[in-house]
Amino acid sequence: MGAWASGPAEHEFRELPEKTGFSVDELRSLYKRFMQLCNEEGTLRQEDFEKIEHLQLNPIRSKIIRAFFDKRNFHKTEVGTVQEIGFVEFVTVVSYFKLPETNQTKEQAAELRRKKLRFLFNMHDTDSDETITLEEYKYVIEDLLSSYKTIEKETAKAIADSAMLEVANITGRSMENCGSITFEEFFQILQDVEVESKMNLRF
């Protein structure tokens, strides 16, 4: 651990491997990248992400960047966004995409799945009210379609509508309240998408 530059709060870094599950080597390379992004300042701001060219082509980049600054993803109970993050938060957010351990019990796997879906949910729920409203869902779809210039807003709305209807259908809820989705319902509708195996990256 002496390889860390004399960064602030070095004692925090000692706990990182257990907290996030990364190995020391992986942490080291992430640290290098972190420093590269923040120009050696030690804290990362939203503008720093604009340096990454390929990210600018990504339709949901604003959501992704926002996710790094969302307090809910820091394993704490606070809500809201921060202006700048340090390495610990950076790694915490990236750890959502870690490969699962090889020998996981069923409960651990379910827990991991929940965690990852929670991350996705937080990405959609931009106003932090623990529900995804139709408007928010519509924004998601508009983002996805934003790289195609010829699409009108109404089509996005149509798709969002039918998606919400499906949610109501699957969760068996009454149509009166189907204007928003809670986390439990989100969990239910995405049970066929194998998030725990898809939402992974190799480091």
Partner 1 sequence: MSTYASATTGASGFSGDKRRSGRNREEVGRVSSPRSCSVYSGRKTLPDSRVPSDRPTLSDIPTAAFPVLSFDYKHVQMPFEISLWVLLASLMKLGFHLIPRLSSIVPESCLLIVVGLLVGGLIRVVGEDPPILGSQLFFLCLLPPIILDAGYFLPIRPFTENVGTILMFAVVGTLWNAFFVGGLLYGVCQLEGTHLGRVDLMACLLFGSIISAVDPVAVLAVFEEIHINELLHILVFGESLLNDAVTVVLYHLFEEFAAAGGVTIKDVFLGIVCFLVVALGGILVGAIYGVLAAFTSRFTSHTRVIEPLFVFLYSYMAYLSAEVFHLSGIMALIACGAVMRPYVEANISHKSHTTIKYFLKMWSSVSETLIFIFLGVSTVAGQHHWNWTFVICTVILCLVARVLGVVGLTFMINKFRIVKLTTKDQFIIAYGGLRGAIAFSLGYLLDKVHFPMRDMFLTAIITVIFFTVFVQGMTIRPLVDLLAVKKKQETKRSINEEIHTQFLDHLLTGIEDICGHYGHHHWKDKLNRFNKKYVKKCLIAGERSKEPQLIAFYHKMEMKQAIELVESGGGVKIPSAMPSTVSMQNIQPKKPTERALPQLSKSREEEIRKILRTNLQKTRQRLRSYNRHTLVADPYEDGWNDMFLKRRRVMELGKKLNNYLTVPAPAPDSPTMARARLASDPQAWSIKPKSDSIPTIQVDLASPQSPDSVNMVDEFNKPSKPTEAEEEEGLMMKAPSSSADQKERKRDKEDGVEQQRLARCLSDPGPSAEDDEDEPFLP
Q: Closest distance between partner 1 and the C-beta of residue 62, in Å?
A: 10
Q: Closest distance between partner 1 and the C-beta of residue 188, in Å?
A: 10
Token pair belonging to 143: 């983002």
- Supply φ then ψ for residue 158, to 5 degrees: -60, -45
Contact stretch for partner 1 (CB under 8 A) within 2-10, 12-20, 106-114, 195-203: 195-203
State yes or no: residue 112 binds partner 1 (CB under 8 A): no
Q: Closest distance between partner 1 and the C-beta of residue 190, in Å?
A: 6
Integer CA distances (angstroms), 14 to 24, 30, 46, 198, in order: 10, 15, 26, 29
Strands (E), the chain: 44-45, 84-85, 131-133, 180-182
CA distance 5 to 195: 36
CB 139 within 8 A of CB 156: no
Q: Which amino acid is at 61?
A: R
Residue with smaller CB distance to partner 1, 79 or 175: 175
Residue with smaller CB distance to partner 1, 47 or 154: 154
Number of residues binding to partner 1, judged by CB under 8 A: 67
Token pair belonging to 48: 């720093």
**What residues line the site for partner 1 (CB under 8 A)?**
30, 33, 36-37, 49, 52, 54-55, 57-61, 64, 68, 94, 97, 99-100, 102, 120, 123, 134, 140-141, 144-145, 147-152, 154-155, 157-159, 161-170, 172, 174-176, 178-179, 189-190, 192-195, 197-203
